Amino acid sequence: MTDTDITPGDVPGATAPVPRKSFREARRMIRTYSRSFSSMLGLALVTLFLFVAVFGPWLAPFPEDAYGAVNFDIKLQPPSAEHWFGTDQVGSDILSRVLIGARTTLQIGLTVTGIAILIGVPLGLIAGMVGGWIAETIMRITDIFLSIPGLILAIAIVGALGPGILNAMLALSLVWWPGYVRLVQAKTLSLRNETYVDAARALGAGPFRVLFVHVLPNCLSPIVVKASMDMGMAILGAASLGFLGLGAQPPYPEWGAMISTGRAYLPDWWWCSFFPGIAIYLTVLGFNLLGDGLRDVLDPRQR
């Protein structure tokens, strides 16, 4: 027998039962997940959010209000049957603006988390697999980034690039990746010395095969869990920049910027900033609870 014959995964008998096993596994996971009330609440909130993000322009009663329509004769009206969330200082329907703002929020969350993963995961894999001075350098840089409060660094970057929604997203992405490096590096380090990875190496698997077939798939669960949490946190971060006036600029329908604008009308016209805040809260809460639930299912040893 030569060692090319027994590349792991090529043994016919070993591949056959896999689909059924993974089906059973998935069913078990779904059962575990659906037993928890808070996980299901998270799933419901995220589903609602995604639904609104996709269909917002059709759901909104006055879609043109999200793009700077002005009706001064109905400005600052309290919540009513026609305007559920009331109207703002130029008479725009706040419900419509909140619904359409969901799309922006989703874009921000996906972009920031996506870029952070694209930067952080490869660096973490390299640091974990290669070791030596390369790993040392990567981890030191990561540590330095992690030792600055993220929001402050994001503000500094937006300060350098200039305010705006694209720059805000870029800034948040640039401060978000170090967490993934830490996570993936730690996971890779522990996986690297697992018996099955040693076995694969002993059977002649090259470094790339070990990386992509044996290490990366086992890193996926914690990455998925962290990504779900980070969607929420990135949305919160973008709303914070919007509130400070560094992100999306009014009248763009972004929740943080809406709160900031509504602030000037606060004592009497509370609904201007109340409802966008609720939208942020429910969305972030949804992604956090979803992440918690996924962790219980995918990565039970971690808390």
Partner 1 sequence: MLKLIAKRMGLMVVMLLGLAVITFTVANIAPGDPARLAAGPDANQEMVEQIRVERGFDRPLPVRFVLYIEQLLNGDFGTSVYTGRPVAKDIAQFLPATVELVLFSISIAILLGVPLGVIAAVRQNRPIDHAIRLLSVSGVALPMFWLGLMLQWYLALNLDLFPLGGRLGIFSDVPEPITGMISLDAVLRGQFAVVGEALWHMILPATALSLPALAAIIRVNRAEMLEVLGRDYVTNARAQGIGPWRIIAVYSLKNAILPTLAMIGLRFGWMLGGTVLVEGVFDFPGLGLYAAKAAISSDFEPIMAVTLTLGAAFMLINLVIDLLYAVLDPRVRNQI
| Cα separation, 75 vs 93, whole angstroms | 9
Binding interface with partner 1 (CB under 8 A): 38, 140-141, 143-145, 147-153, 155-163, 232, 236, 239-240, 243-246, 256, 259, 263, 266-267, 270, 273-274, 276-277, 280-281, 284-285, 288-289, 292, 303
- Please, what is the minimum distance in Å from the beta carbon of residue 6 to partner 1? 41
- Please, what is the minimum distance in Å from the beta carbon of residue 181 to partner 1? 15
**Closer CB to partner 1, residue 128 or residue 237?**
237
- Please, what is the minimum distance in Å from the beta carbon of residue 263 to partner 1? 6
DSSP assignment, residue 213?
Answer: I
**Closer CB to partner 1, residue 156 or residue 199?**
156
Beta-carbon count within 10 A of 10 CB: 10
**Integer angstrom CA distances of residue 40 from 30, 147, 231, 281, 293:** 11, 35, 17, 17, 8
**Closer CB to partner 1, residue 19 or residue 267?**
267
- Please, what is the minimum distance in Å from the beta carbon of residue 286 to partner 1? 8
- Please, what is the minimum distance in Å from the beta carbon of residue 177 to partner 1? 13
- Please, what is the minimum distance in Å from the beta carbon of residue 251 to partner 1? 18
Tokens of 289: 């609870």
- Please, what is the minimum distance in Å from the beta carbon of residue 233 to partner 1? 8
**Closer CB to partner 1, residue 197 or residue 234?**
234
- Please, what is the minimum distance in Å from the beta carbon of residue 274 to partner 1? 7
| Cα separation, 251 vs 260, whole angstroms | 11
**Closer CB to partner 1, residue 197 or residue 289?**
289
User: Could you tell me where the DSSP H helices lie in the chain?
Assistant: 12-15, 18-35, 37-59, 94-130, 132-146, 150-161, 165-176, 178-192, 195-202, 207-209, 216-243, 255-262, 271-298
| Cα separation, 89 vs 265, whole angstroms | 8
**Closer CB to partner 1, residue 5 or residue 268?**
268
**Closer CB to partner 1, residue 95 or residue 231?**
231
**Closer CB to partner 1, residue 130 or residue 278?**
278
Q: What are phi and psi of 93, to 5 degrees?
A: -75, 120
DSSP character string of 163-211: SSHHHHHHHHHHHHTHHHHHHHHHHHHHHHTSHHHHHHHHTT--HHHII
| Cα separation, 282 vs 288, whole angstroms | 10
Query: Which residues is 74 bridged to in the sheet?
Result: none
Q: Quick one: 20 exposed, middle or buried, by C-beta within 10 A (0-12, 13-18, 19+)? A: exposed
Tokens of 165: 């929604």
Three-state secondary-structure class, residue 98? helix
